[in-house]
Amino acid sequence: MPQDRWDPERYLAYAGERGRPFVELLARVAADSPRTVVDLGCGPGNLTRLLARRWPEASVLGVDSSPEMVAAARRDDPGSGVAFQVGDVRSWTPSGGPVDVLVSNATLQWVPGHLELLGGLVGHVAPDGWLALQVPGNFDEPSHVIRRELAAEEPYAAHTAGVAVPDAFGPEVYLEALTGLGCEVDAWETTYLHVLTGEDPVFTWVSGTGARPTLSALPEHLRPRFEAELKRRLREAYPARPYGVVLPFRRVFAVAQMKPRHGGRP
């Protein structure tokens, strides 16, 4: 099976649209002057640098499991002072003790059973600190359903069985889980209507994220045929309009503040 690698350039094809949820997530984090801020699942680092702008006095670290993403983040860092390292959300621990702000944006959907990780993530945050997460909530939309159905057909099924697929929960699940861990929680959801342009823009979008493992799993002699059929079905599901192609995209957010050990907010 071909090695599954992230493509930073493809991921950044719609950087503005992908960045909006991060900005809106960050707006609900009411930390005044944190000393340590971590972006867990930082990707190519373009959004991590927003953390350094928000809190210029803080030590900001971006962590990602993809060496390609971390390499791109380090290469494109314009002297912001942000540090980047390779690390896995399932095993990462802060080297200097609990952090003041821990952000996980569009990452946990790739981790099976990630609700079980929330206790550990909460444990990495200092009292009065903040945990902020965002995950896609659009897995029943045609962009995912079409890919799953096509991947289950022959001759593709033998190659795509068992590949990684993203999944997540609704805001009420994260509210319940984080409240049960002793946090004060703000959870919500938003559906964006992204207006995309260019040739086969929905394919370009999904090939950089949700469809990436499936495409990587296909041998070279089958991948062009699969891509052509996926593009055709996506064009039917998301027809072009005079102003572009509309991609509805539901996002789920949760911002949790750790309750101080003495109880109550200061």
Whether 1 shows a pLDDT value over 60: the answer reads no
Global pTM reads 0.89
Give the residue from 216, 184, 203 showing the smallest Cα distance to 146: 203
The answer to whether position 160 is within a domain reads no
Asked whether the predicted pLDDT for residue 252 surpasses 70, the reply is yes
Rounded Cα gap, residues 259 and 262, in angstroms: 8
Q: Count structural domains, the chain.
A: 1
101, 38 Cβ separation under 8 angstroms:
yes
| Percentage of the chain modeled with pLDDT above 70 | 90
CATH of the domain at 178: 3.40.50.150
- Is residue 51 included in any domain, yes or no? yes
The pLDDT of 93-101, averaged and rounded, is 95
pLDDT at 264: 41
pLDDT at 17: 78
Domain residue limits at 185: 8-137+165-192+245-258
3 within some domain: no
In a domain, 204, yes or no: no
Measuring CA to CA, how many Å separate 239 from each of 167, 200, 245? Answer: 26, 10, 6
Q: Give domain status of residue 131, yes or no.
A: yes
Confidence of residue 164 (pLDDT cuts 50, 70, 90): confident
pLDDT bin (cut points 50, 70, 90) of residue 261 is low
In a domain, 240, yes or no: no
Which residue reads 């070279």 in tokens? 220
Measure the CA–CA gap between 126 and 178, rounded to whole angstroms.
Answer: 15
Is residue 148 one of the residues assigned to a domain? no
Is residue 200 one of the residues assigned to a domain?
A: no
Q: Which residue has the tokens 């099924």?
A: 157
Express each pLDDT in 45-72 by its tens digit.
989 999 999 999 999 999 999 999 899 8
